Amino acid sequence: MSKSRTLRDGLNGSEVIRLVGAHSALSAKLGQDAGFEAIWASGLEISASRALPDANVLSMAECLEAAAQIADAVDVPVLADCDSGFGGVGNVAHMVRSYQARGLAGVCIEDKQFPKLNSFVEGHQDLAPIGDFAAKITAAKEARTGEDFVVVARIEAFIAGAGLDEALRRATVYEAAGADALLIHSKLSTPEEVFAFRAAYTGALPVIVVPTTYPQVTAAELTERRFGGVIYANQGLRAAISAMRDVLGQIGAAGSTHAVEGSIATLKDVFALQNVDALLARQERHDALTAQYAALG
């Protein structure tokens, strides 16, 4: 089964599929090892890993390379955060062909104007005209190869302060345009808005949420309320920042690594994540074959 089909089936399954944010091959492997069913190639995480704002500063090629490295590193599906599609319908079509060719299971595009601004940054959030964004969804679907590659339409109506009715209106149009799933976003400290959307939405598409600002909600509760997916979009990056800041601060203050050695990963852990054992096994086989073929001469 293809990774795209696995992702599609997961979003339409009886239990919510859990995706975790990643910005690198290493962070994706850690997410897979933790048991998440899929990976979210996060625009915020990828931008932050370059110490840049999540505001379309990186090009499509730069985001694609990061997402492809993530997809290459794991066996589970990877859904790529593609902001507002990197431009118009032509850009979106090129994006889909490129991401699919590099092994991504699907893409998610949001209905904000280019250049977008991260949804949690204070400031005005401009929604794209509904017709323009729906045309991007159709362009994405027409550009894909086969029927499995997943196109997610991300609705930013709550982020922009446009309300439930606008979110539902956009959901209906995006479903008609061919979206495979909807992502409904909110920055409230409770899941009130996304729960209201799920209760009122009568369409057939799975609905995904990102509980960054309402962490109290559980996957079990989301399953009960008929959501299709949940994305833990940036907690891994934030944990890494806190851990590195703490450890490096201790080393700098003490002038020694002694105090932190017991709390950081061992080199053995690092080598395991790098698949060093597989490398050594290949080298051993190569050496044996070299000796065998040399003897024939």
Residue 4 identity (one-letter amino acid): S
Q: Which of 139, 38, 113, 125 is nearest to 80 (CA)?
A: 38
Residue appearing with tokens 């990828």: 46
Bond before 77 cis per omega within 30 degrees: no
Residues with active-site annotation: 54
